[in-house]
Structure 1
Amino acid sequence: MEVLRQLQGYFWTKRLYLFLSILCLAIATALGLIYPNLLRYLIDDVITPRNFEGVPILAMSVLGVVIVKSFMQFLHGFFGGRLGNYLAYRLRNACYEKLQFLSFRYYDTAKTGDLMSRLTGDLEAIRNFIGFGFAQLLNVILMVVFGAIMMLSINWQLTLITLISMPLLAFIALRFESQIHPAFQEMRLALSSLTTAVQENITGVRTVKSFAREPYEVEKFSTRNERYKTNQIFASTLWSRFFPVMELLASISIVLLLGVGGYLVIQKSLSLGELVAFFSLIWYIIGPMWSIGFHINNYTQSKASGERVLELLNQPVEVLDRERAVELDSQRVEGHVTFDGVTFAYGNKLPAVVDINLDAPPGTVIGFLGGTGSGKSTIIQLLMRAYDVNTGSIKLDGKDIRDIQIRSLRGQISSVFQETFLFSSTIRNNISYGLTHVSMEDVIRVSKLAKAHDFIMELPDGYDTVVGERGMGLSGGQKQRIAIARALLKNPKILVLDDATSAVDMETEHEIQSGFQEVMRGRTTFIIAHRISSLRHADEILVMNEGRVVQRGKHEQLIAIPGPYQDVYHIQYADHIARLKDTAGEQVKQ
């Protein structure tokens, strides 16, 4: 019940629905006890003495009980449904909100399919149990207690003989719960793995087809599906063992009742009506004992699902606002960024960046060059507080960014990443994402700066064209230019271009770079690039290697000094330099 206790805060404000649902079900259960008494009355006081005048009264009594019982069952479903839906609504919102604020470190290892499974299947299992299953489980206890009391009031000796197998039934049910719960946990994990495989395959279908890996993906899915099937079969095997044993013990109770009860009727110690009433009441107890497996099934499923949902809700948010973090005044932010001895490592790994020192006054353009894994993108992630530095500090206008509200800090930064993400919406909505009251003129203006306006106008619906999931239907260069326009529309004090032109051709890159000269004016700009052409106009270029700055300076300075920057320059411009030499040689010959 620990899981339910932790989930209590999400439905306790509507606990009246829970209590009313239980109360209505208890009343319906109590009314059900009237049927055996009516049968006893029918046999002993009507049929046996042939006193048929009481039949109309008996019939009207049955009708009244049926109507009231049905109404109570309706109210049970109504209040239970309200409670379950309220819980699911609040839990779903809480999970989604948690996902919005979880740190980047969590998403480094999280699987989309697993998260989707928690927000759908697991939430539904919790909703069903809290809304209905919990009351039904309590009702099992009520039915057994009420039924036992009624039987004891008729004949206590026959009751004890008949119920002799009930403790064993309860023991087997509890033993079953201890075995089925791990099975359902494993089944949920298998389902999450299966969902993840489907999600990854659909998202990466172009890659799958381009490598002709359809058979491999089918085999991978089949393997995970086999795991899920195995878990389902194992759970079914447990059920197949449980039901026959329960039915055997229940049958023993019926045999004892008919044998001993029949003998008592013959001996005139028990009336025929009382035996029939007893027979009805025994099913009032055996029925719940049989169905307790079903209720335990619901409970264990909801328990396993609750553990998975709580695991998400209890995930620590590593990057948080400090208690006295301030909100920036956007009108006064200048964009002066400094890194002072910054060192950072991902978890227990080796440091990704080591002792980074940097001073970027307002309007400065800082470039980063280096191989994969050299720490370029990590520096930008630290500036945005995707992670907190291990040692050193990063300051904006002289204030440690850890003393600035995260939302306020990121509101001053616009980023264009190498891997562009577009939402399944119109191009206009993608460009104006996160902003309200944006005019169409502003959208067109930044689109022209990003060299995106022309190709957008060639689309069927222009800026109202709906792009597919993740921007499907657009080329890599087109998506990147839309992302650039989105960053420019935000009008930030700090602009981050993380290989922002890697997916466009050299001519388009040159046109975009020309547009950047205007938008960079008055902004602090950080450019990560593999092409020196994107960095040559930077005020300072930092050459990174294994998390350290191995060279720094302007393009003209670095190109004149032997080192990594000069090596990259010669590699990228080897053909161009060779053509210049050939042209010079031809001119000398002439």
Structure 2
Amino acid sequence: MATQTPFFSSISRLYPHVRPILPRLVLGLLSALLASVVALTIPQVLRVLVNESLRPGGRADAVWSASLVILGLGVAEAGLVALRRQFVINPATTVETRMRVSLYGHLQDLTVSFHDRWGSGQLLSRAMTDLNFLRRWMAFGAIMLVVTTLTVVIGVVVMFSMSWQLALIFLAAAVPIMIYGFRFRTRYSKVARRSQDQAGDLATTVEESVHGIRVLKAFGRSREALENFNEQAEELRQTEIAKAKHLAVFSLVVTLLPELALGSGLVVGVLLASNGDLSIGSLVAFFATAAVIAAPVEFCGMLLAMALTAKTAIDRHYEVMDAMNTITSPEDPRRPDVLKGAVSFRNVAFAFQDAPDKPILKDITLDIAPGETMALVGITGSGKSALLQLVPRLYEVTAGAITIDGVDLREFSVEELRTVVAVAFEDTTLFSSSVRHNVLLGAPGASSEAHREEANRDEALEEALDVAQAHFAYSLPDGVDTLIGEEGLSLSGGQRQRIALARAIAARPKVLVLDDPLSALDVNTEERVEHRLREVLADTTTLIVAHRPSTVALADRVALLKDGRIAAVGTHAELLARDSHYRYVIASLDPEPRDLDSELHDPDLSDLDAEEISR
């Protein structure tokens, strides 16, 4: 359970966002308040009408005059309500959009370790549901809560001016309402927070199930997934019922007690009128005023619930916004005078934030020359992937330093570092867009002239697809402009990996980091990719995690990792000759897979029939 913060402390955090639209909100508040004042004026017209015109000898035309006044007041009230909406709706949606964009931008800046800890559904619910609710609360709930409070205060003052005895009876009902309201606020805040967190967990489950639908179907686990979802949905339903019960009891209290007070007041009022201590007009006006403020009193339960839910939404929003980005650019960034791509690891250690006493990497020292291809091998859990992710600063080293051409990575601007270093992962992530957009995601602009830039980007696209042996893209229905669907799942595994590799190549990096991005390719395709990489990126330093002997053999040198340390460095042949653990690792590497998609597009294999390929 998250720590509970004071209500006004949470609400005050909205001020920087609300400040630009504050004049419009104030005008909306004044419009709503004037509408309530107009509504409270109508009973006073009735009082004058009853006392002056409906008694013996009163003027008949006064009834028509009073009717016209009441009609005018009613039209004025409706106009003021409409004006309130005009003042607040557009600014509130502007604040919602700005907060959503700010949240998204902050999520882009936050470290990978932050995203490792947070479910995507929780972030999605904060970006959509919570901010949508905040917009509705700013445009309606907050204004009406203030107006309702002021309406009740003004109404009670007016009631005291007419009859202090009846007003005291009505006011007596407020004491238990205030006492119960305090308890309601505490209980409802907790259950509202639990509801919003459970909704976020449910969204995470839906997203995971949709992304993993092939796995669920392949293993026949759709029913189990449904049962798990049903349990979570039922927990959320029970929480929503608990919210509804709290609100229902509060609504019962704020509705029943004023009605009982009015019933008692009616008896006392009749007695006062019969004794001549209260005029009939004042009695009518008193109860008409009570009727006007009865609706706000009954409505305050819902408004208070909205305010408490909004407070929870703000807390949830700032849980993300308060998260610190620990991987930042220095105030005075540096870069090498000449960028060659020499990468050096100096006594590097790394441990995850939630397990600082269990380092993944220890005392890593390694030098990679410009243009050299270095393969990393080791058994599962030796720290290969963790080492790669330190180079683009997806994670930060715990100790030691990594340099490019003698400059510490932490002295680079983060943005520039990630143009110098490009990454392709084994688990490819593609976006629901065209092949062109996915490949050119990190490609630098070639010129300020639009037509030249477009021509250069097309050239970069063609070259990247050629190097990655992703020629299949041209045979898709719309060629490279074909939409490949969410996460590129309409493509085969080998196709996705080649698009991801093409994306890294199109970035034209000086350092290329490859986390076994060719695992789904057959040996022939892998060899062609490596050959083209050497041609096009001859000056690019490459650091690659290898899980297959063929990938290792294509590297200039190999670094063997064992228990988070560099155990040996040398060529493939040298390590085979002198290191028994290296021989064990090579023997345990994955067998060479055959990517049928690649083979079907291979001109050397085009004459083979399906039976031969399937062997």
Residue in structure 2 matching 1:489, options 470, 484, 506: 506
The question of 1:480 aligning with 2:497 is answered yes
Match of 1:522 in 2: 539
Residue in structure 1 matching 2:102, options 84, 94, 98: 94
CA deviations 1:7-65 (Å, max 9, x no partner) are 21111122111211111111111111111011112222222234111133223222322
The question of 1:37 aligning with 2:54 is answered no
Q: Distance in 2 between the 1:58 and 1:569 partners?
A: 99
Match of 1:178 in 2: 186
CA deviations 1:397-426 (Å, max 9, x no partner) are 111111111110111111111011111111
Match of 2:269 in 1: 261
The question of 1:48 aligning with 2:64 is answered no
Give 2:11's aligned amino acid. Answer: L
Q: Secondary structure at the match of 1:343?
A: strand
1:328 CA drift (Å): 6.5
- Contact 2:247–2:305 (CA under 8 A) maintained in structure 1: no
CA deviations 1:429-487 (Å, max 9, x no partner) are 1111133434323312221111111x122221111111010001100000111111111
1:327 CA drift (Å): 5.7
Q: Distance in 1 between the 2:38 and 2:103 partners?
A: 41
Q: Distance in 1 between the 2:274 and 2:288 partners?
A: 19
- Contact 1:83–1:130 (CA under 8 A) maintained in structure 2: no
The question of 1:249 aligning with 2:235 is answered no
- Contact 2:254–2:301 (CA under 8 A) maintained in structure 1: no
Match of 1:583 in 2: none
Moved more, 232-241 or 437-446: 437-446
The question of 1:153 aligning with 2:175 is answered no
Give 1:28's aligned amino acid. Answer: A
- Contact 1:328–1:404 (CA under 8 A) maintained in structure 2: no
Q: Distance in 2 between the 1:312 and 1:573 partners?
A: 40
Give 1:449's aligned amino acid. Answer: V
Match of 1:445 in 2: 463
Q: Distance in 1 between the 2:110 and 2:490 partners?
A: 31
Q: Distance in 2 between the 1:25 and 1:572 partners?
A: 73
Give 2:484's aligned amino acid. Answer: V
Residue in structure 1 matching 2:91, options 83, 88, 91: 83
Match of 1:335 in 2: 341
Give 2:422's aligned amino acid. Answer: S
Match of 2:350 in 1: 344
Match of 1:14 in 2: 21
Q: Distance in 1 between the 2:528 and 2:520 partners?
A: 14
1:517 CA drift (Å): 2.1
1:491 CA drift (Å): 1.1
1:240 CA drift (Å): 3.0
- Contact 1:170–1:289 (CA under 8 A) maintained in structure 2: no
The question of 1:565 aligning with 2:571 is answered no
User: Do the aligned partners of residues 60 and 459 (structure 1) sit closer, same or farther apart at CA in structure 2, a change above 3 Å counting?
Assistant: same
User: Do the aligned partners of residues 156 and 315 (structure 1) sit closer, same or farther apart at CA in structure 2, a change above 3 Å counting?
Assistant: same
Match of 2:125 in 1: 117
Give identity over the alignment, percent: 32
What does residue range 375-524 of structure 1 map to in structure 2 within 5 Å? 375-435=383-443, 436=445, 437=453, 438-453=456-471, 455-524=472-541
The question of 1:556 aligning with 2:573 is answered yes
Give 1:404's aligned amino acid. Answer: F
User: Do the aligned partners of residues 393 and 372 (structure 1) sit closer, same or farther apart at CA in structure 2, a change above 3 Å counting?
Assistant: same
Give 1:302's aligned amino acid. Answer: A
Q: Secondary structure at the match of 2:442?
A: coil
1:498 CA drift (Å): 1.1
Q: Distance in 2 between the 1:206 and 1:61 partners?
A: 70
1:520 CA drift (Å): 3.5
Match of 1:356 in 2: 364
1:72 CA drift (Å): 1.6
1:301 CA drift (Å): 0.7
1:86 CA drift (Å): 2.2
Alignment TM-score, normalising by the size of structure 1: 0.94
Q: Distance in 2 between the 1:297 and 1:501 partners?
A: 55
User: Do the aligned partners of residues 54 and 508 (structure 1) sit closer, same or farther apart at CA in structure 2, a change above 3 Å counting?
Assistant: same
CA deviations 1:524-551 (Å, max 9, x no partner) are 1111111121122323211112211112
1:165 CA drift (Å): 1.5
**Structure 1 unaligned runs (5+)?**
576-590
1:519 CA drift (Å): 2.7
Size of the aligned set, in residue pairs, is: 572
The question of 1:141 aligning with 2:149 is answered yes
- Contact 1:337–1:360 (CA under 8 A) maintained in structure 2: yes
- Contact 2:46–2:281 (CA under 8 A) maintained in structure 1: yes
Q: Distance in 2 between the 1:225 and 1:284 partners?
A: 41
Q: Distance in 2 between the 1:120 and 1:573 partners?
A: 43
- Contact 1:424–1:469 (CA under 8 A) maintained in structure 2: yes
The question of 1:542 aligning with 2:564 is answered no
Q: Secondary structure at the match of 1:411?
A: helix
Q: Distance in 2 between the 1:321 and 1:116 partners?
A: 27
Moved more, 47-56 or 492-501: 47-56
Q: Distance in 2 between the 1:250 and 1:567 partners?
A: 83
- Contact 1:336–1:362 (CA under 8 A) maintained in structure 2: yes
Q: Secondary structure at the match of 1:33?
A: helix
Query: How much is the aligned-residue C-alpha RMSD, in angstroms?
Result: 1.8
Q: Distance in 1 between the 2:528 and 2:493 partners?
A: 17
- Contact 2:392–2:421 (CA under 8 A) maintained in structure 1: yes
- Contact 1:342–1:393 (CA under 8 A) maintained in structure 2: yes
1:574 CA drift (Å): 10
Give 2:477's aligned amino acid. Answer: P
Q: Distance in 2 between the 1:360 and 1:146 partners?
A: 78
User: Do the aligned partners of residues 573 and 475 (structure 1) sit closer, same or farther apart at CA in structure 2, a change above 3 Å counting?
Assistant: closer
Q: Distance in 1 between the 2:252 and 2:506 partners?
A: 69
Q: Distance in 2 between the 1:100 and 1:139 partners?
A: 40
Q: Deviation above 6 Å: which 4+ runs of structure 1?
A: none
CA deviations 1:342-396 (Å, max 9, x no partner) are 1111122411111111111211111100122211111111111112212111111
Q: Distance in 2 between the 1:432 and 1:573 partners?
A: 31
- Contact 2:336–2:407 (CA under 8 A) maintained in structure 1: no
Moved more, 103-112 or 54-63: 54-63
- Contact 1:344–1:352 (CA under 8 A) maintained in structure 2: yes
Match of 1:581 in 2: none
Q: Distance in 2 between the 1:574 and 1:379 partners?
A: 24
Q: Distance in 2 between the 1:247 and 1:148 partners?
A: 16
Moved more, 547-556 or 283-292: 283-292
